Amino acid sequence: MEEAKNIAKTYDPQQVEERLYNEWMEKGYFRAEVDPDKEPFTIVIPPPNVTGQLHMGHALDETLQDILIRWKRMQGYSTLWLPGTDHAGIATQIKVEEMLRKEEGLSRYDLGREKFLERVWEWKHTYGNRIINQLKKLGSSCDWSRERFTMDEGCSKAVREVFVNLYEKGLIYQGNRIINWCPNCVTALSDAEVEYEEKAGHFWYIKYYVKDSDEFITIATTRPETMLGDTAVAVHPEDERYKHLIGKTLILPLVNREIPVIADEYVDKEFGTGAVKITPAHDPNDFEVGMRHNLPQIKVMNDDATINHHGGKYEGMDRYEARKAIIEDLTGAGLLLQTKDHVHNVGQCYRCGTTVEPITSKQWFVKMKPLAEAAIKVVKDGTIQFVPDRFSKIYLNWMENVHDWCISRQLWWGHRIPAYYCEDCGETIVSKKDITGCTKCGGKVIQDPDVLDTWFSSALWPFSTLGWPEETDDLNYFYPTSVLVTGYDIIFFWVARMIFSGMEHMKKEPFKYVFIHGIVRDSEGRKMSKSLGNGIDPLEVIEKYGADALRFTLATGNSPGNDMRFYWERVEASRNFANKIWNASRFVLMNLEINENKLPELEKLTLEDKWILSRYNNLVKEVTDNLDKFELGIAVQKLYDFIWDEFCDWYIELVKPRLYDKQSTSRLEAQYVLTYVLSNTLKLLHPFMPFITEEIWKHLPHEGESIMISAWPKYHEQYNFVEEEKQMSVIMAAIKSIRNIRAEMNVAPSRKAKLYVVTANVETFQKGKVFFERLAGASEVILSAQKEDIPEDAVSVVVEGAEMFIPLDDLVDREKEIERLEKEKQNLEKEVQRVNSKLNNHGFVSKAPAHVVEEERQKGQKYADMLAKVVERLKSLK
Ligand SMILES: [Zn+2]
Ligand SMILES: [Zn+2]
């Protein structure tokens, strides 16, 4: 095996990863084929933002997907991992605007819509592949020939098809409704795009006087500036305090407009003063009340949250300036009764953190109730399963209470809304194709200037990327997809919308499993963020330790749905694991004289061969079971334990005598078993650590071109050796106990000692003889059923089913040991004395803090225990 001996001395990921990745690409192993003889297994990637840079969250998400894909590919499925990027409306637009401002001093308005969009496309062509190239560094085995973009031709076609279909069914409508408005991004947001945070604020209590009367109603509000748009005050119809005022007129303070007192059951008598101001244009609940009572909507703010002409003297002020001025004026007019501190939930824009303003606005909406039905059913009946299951409750709760989805955004970058307005007859035309003339009167039309919410196109991702609305072979074969892997933070944004979209447009669920993972936090448990500066760049990790080490670290820490912490020490440990595998494999390769990978006849196998084969066989079953249940973290931990402990630390050590002994009749058998178990274990590890496993596997005797297209190992009942496993575990436990005693007694590894084994189980220990000699420092092993001819002062070790004795003189040099122990005894006595005098010192005990005294007491106990042991040992030696 010339090749085997050529394996590098140490493992250097830099030398291996890129070369192997290119090789896999060239051979086309990532390409998915429509193959009627195979079952498909499909994952669509959660498309990263085209502006994105790979962060730890992506690294985790992609690692989990690649593990599943590589595993299924080896199991013989026709696997498709479909990659792509998202145009990411707001994020990208802001990025390009920033660049224009910095580099050219231009705003998007200076350029105009068309020129600006040209610049965004240019930007996309230049930088859009950055994140794709970063994904490749991780080892992602995506089918890059099928790479998609949410604004490519096909996806755009799907978007228009869906918009028009839903519009024609009455499920998309345009309406003047209350929406969340970000004054900074100057666009509408959907409910899912608002993040709530508790903030300290105030309740201001304001007097609203009844017209021509001294009577007043007290109103409490957290946003006094909205009072400029009040069009009523509402009370509960049964509220005795206010019954007589219903139908009367109030004078709106500062504005001096007349507004009615109305009765509505929505008002909670017990809350605040039991009377609420109604501002239909600036509050979602008030909006509903306003609709019921036919109240006018007075919108008092501009798009940038400054006060408009309805605000009178406050016109032009920012909302917070206006708030301050209004409070001052109310105080001056004696209309402010009191101010109370109040903590309340404030909605913030998920992009920029600005407090959103609920306002009425003419926008496009998706009517959600009818669409939610099917999306609820498929999760309830288990057609789609969340992993872990607890997320299905969160999903269902959201879906059951879903509000209509505001889908229009006041941006330029995105899918333009395919609605046209006739300038002559006012007709609204929604069309799959671009049109220039009115279908009704032939007049000139203009297209709606807004674009669609980014998530409108990503909601179609599982089928738009497979060719829908065309009935392509890909769509027929790969849809529905198998698993969606994503973080819990986008269940509402994305997962929920893919589910109802799949049900509506494909009449079939978009995926069978939703595998949810948590986020990667820093070592202190904080979210990684730009502002904290605690983010860790996965590319830096890869450069230092290799992609395998990063993947292994992320997989090891993973349990479905839970957050994990990132520690550099763990990556180092993963790198050490890679080195351990490399060194063990190198040892195996250096000792191979065979060039076939096959198992010898089973009856030729020794005890340790059968033991490792049985352990390996068991590992195959367990790892496969764990992967079936999405327990990737457990699976990889088992692989680690098996490789590190059982294979490297035990089996290789156990077979060394056979490998080294050229006369051994079972030398070749050892080589076959080493090769078989190692190469198959590498297959099990391949999805987690694709590079190192491939590199080693290729040096081992093997069949086929690449480990990544080799067959996933299977469990074989005939390799299940229960009896041999039991025997080996007895021998291993005995060896461990002897090693422990020798370590305790400071016996040099080179010092050999006789070993007497008294056991009824002579057969097992007979088989273990050679191992005691090699691994437990035995110079000779004497087996007997009874305790006889054993020196009185022999050290005894008791294990299950046997008592073992080692003559003391074999282990230690009696005189020297006594001398050493005497010295230790003196030292310990001094320590005990020192602690005792401290504890007997009244001043110390009364003045020192309680925990310090307690620590001292524990120290004293520890020294006393150690001293007792030393005294005992001395006694046994004398
Ligand atoms: Zn914003
Ligand atoms: Zn017309």
Rank 434-448, 675-689, 748-762, 788-802 by mean pLDDT and report only the highest: 675-689
Q: How far is the CA of 417 from the centre of ligand 2 (A)?
A: 18
588, two tokens: 């195996």
Q: Residue 35, exposed/middle/buried by CB under 10 A (0-12, 13-18, 19+)?
A: exposed
CB 51 within 8 A of CB 88: yes
Q: How far is the CA of 212 from the centre of ligand 2 (A)?
A: 52
Q: Is the pLDDT of residue 5 over 70?
A: no
Closest ligand to the CA of 89: 1
CB 550 within 8 A of CB 571: yes
Q: How far is the CA of 183 from the centre of ligand 1 (A)?
A: 7
- 806 DSSP β-pair partners: 795
Q: How far is the CA of 444 from the centre of ligand 2 (A)?
A: 7
- pLDDT tens sequence across 782-823: 888 888 888 877 888 888 788 888 888 788 778 887 888 899
Q: Within 10 A of 137 (CB to CB), how many other CB atoms are there? A: 18
530, two tokens: 């730009």
Q: Is the pLDDT of residue 511 over 90?
A: yes
Q: How far is the CA of 90 from the centre of ligand 1 (A)?
A: 9
Q: How far is the CA of 179 from the centre of ligand 1 (A)?
A: 14
Q: 50: helix, coil or strand?
A: coil
In percent, the amount of the chain with pLDDT more than 90 equals 66
CA 522 – CA 566 distance, rounded (Å): 5
Best CA proximity match to 468, nearest among 505, 498, 427: 505
Q: How far is the CA of 100 from the centre of ligand 1 (A)?
A: 19
Q: Within 10 A of 453 (CB to CB), how many other CB atoms are there? A: 29
Q: How far is the CA of 438 from the centre of ligand 2 (A)?
A: 5
Closest ligand to the CA of 184: 1
Q: How far is the CA of 151 from the centre of ligand 2 (A)?
A: 30
Buried b (16+ CB within 10 A) or exposed e, 223-252: bbbbbbbbbbbbbbeeeeebeebeebebbb
Mean pLDDT of the region 323-344 = 92
Confidence at 670, pLDDT banded by 50, 70, 90: very high
What one-character-per-residue DSSP string does 278-308 give? E-TTT-HHHHHHHHHHT------B-TTSBB-
- pLDDT tens sequence across 182-233: 999 888 887 777 888 888 889 999 999 999 999 999 999 999 999 999 999 9
Run of H or E including 690: helix 690-699
Q: How far is the CA of 194 from the centre of ligand 1 (A)?
A: 9
User: CA triplet 594, 585, 608: central angle to 5 degrees?
Assistant: 70
Closest ligand to the CA of 180: 1
DSSP 8-state code for residue 362? E
pLDDT of residue 14: 92
Q: How far is the CA of 172 from the centre of ligand 1 (A)?
A: 25
Q: How far is the CA of 436 from the centre of ligand 2 (A)?
A: 11
At 850, which amino acid appears?
A
CA 395 – CA 384 distance, rounded (Å): 12
Q: How far is the CA of 177 from the centre of ligand 2 (A)?
A: 26
Q: How far is the CA of 48 from the centre of ligand 1 (A)?
A: 20
Mean pLDDT of the region 514-534 = 89
- pLDDT tens sequence across 134-154: 999 999 999 999 999 999 999
Q: CA distances (Å), 410 to each of 185, 195, 422, 582, in order?
A: 9, 20, 20, 56
Greatest CA span in the chain, whole angstroms? 119
Mean pLDDT of the region 655-676 = 91
Question: Which residues touch 245 (CB under 8 Å, ≥6 apart)?
Answer: 210, 215, 217, 235, 261
Q: How far is the CA of 181 from the centre of ligand 1 (A)?
A: 8
- pLDDT tens sequence across 550-579: 999 999 978 888 999 999 999 999 999 999
Q: How far is the CA of 443 from the centre of ligand 2 (A)?
A: 5
- pLDDT tens sequence across 733-781: 989 988 888 888 888 888 888 899 998 888 888 888 888 988 888 888 8
CB 261 within 8 A of CB 215: no
Phi first, then psi: what are they for 159, rounded to 5°? -60, -45
Mean pLDDT of the region 262-269 = 90
Closest ligand to the CA of 181: 1
Closest ligand to the CA of 422: 2
CA 648 – CA 677 distance, rounded (Å): 11
Mean pLDDT of the region 685-692 = 98
What is the β-pairing status of strands 428-430 and 451-452?
unpaired
Q: How far is the CA of 562 from the centre of ligand 1 (A)?
A: 29
Q: Is the pLDDT of residue 341 over 50?
A: yes
Mean pLDDT of the chain: 92
Q: How far is the CA of 191 from the centre of ligand 1 (A)?
A: 13
- 259 DSSP β-pair partners: 250
Q: Residue 341, exposed/middle/buried by CB under 10 A (0-12, 13-18, 19+)?
A: exposed
Closest ligand to the CA of 188: 1
Q: How far is the CA of 448 from the centre of ligand 2 (A)?
A: 15
Closest ligand to the CA of 195: 1
Question: Where do the DSSP E strands lie in 807-853?
Answer: none
Mean pLDDT of the region 421-440 = 92
Q: Is the pLDDT of residue 171 over 70?
A: yes
CB 515 within 8 A of CB 484: yes
Closest ligand to the CA of 444: 2
CA 687 – CA 678 distance, rounded (Å): 15
CB 185 within 8 A of CB 354: yes
Q: How far is the CA of 487 from the centre of ligand 1 (A)?
A: 22
At 252, which amino acid appears?
L
Q: How far is the CA of 129 from the centre of ligand 1 (A)?
A: 26
Question: Which residues touch 612 (CB under 8 Å, ≥6 apart)?
Answer: 646, 647, 650, 651, 673, 677
pLDDT of residue 2: 41
Q: CA distances (Å), 834 to each of 831, 837, 840, 841, 850, in order?
A: 5, 5, 10, 11, 19
Of the listed ranges 17-21, 453-457, 469-473, 765-769, the least confidently predicted one is: 765-769
Q: Residue 436, exposed/middle/buried by CB under 10 A (0-12, 13-18, 19+)?
A: exposed
CA 863 – CA 564 distance, rounded (Å): 40
Closest ligand to the CA of 440: 2
Q: How far is the CA of 418 from the centre of ligand 2 (A)?
A: 16
Q: How far is the CA of 411 from the centre of ligand 1 (A)?
A: 12
Q: How far is the CA of 503 from the centre of ligand 1 (A)?
A: 31
CB 73 within 8 A of CB 140: no
CB 781 within 8 A of CB 773: yes
pTM: 0.82
How many H helices and E strands in the chain?
30, 29
Q: How far is the CA of 188 from the centre of ligand 1 (A)?
A: 9
Q: How far is the CA of 725 from the centre of ligand 2 (A)?
A: 85
170: left (phi over 0), alpha (psi -120 to 50) or beta: left
99, two tokens: 């660049």
- 218 DSSP β-pair partners: 207
Best CA proximity match to 404, nearest among 171, 158, 185: 171
Q: How far is the CA of 280 from the centre of ligand 1 (A)?
A: 23
Residue with tokens 């065979």: 594
Peptide bond into 469 cis (omega under 30): yes
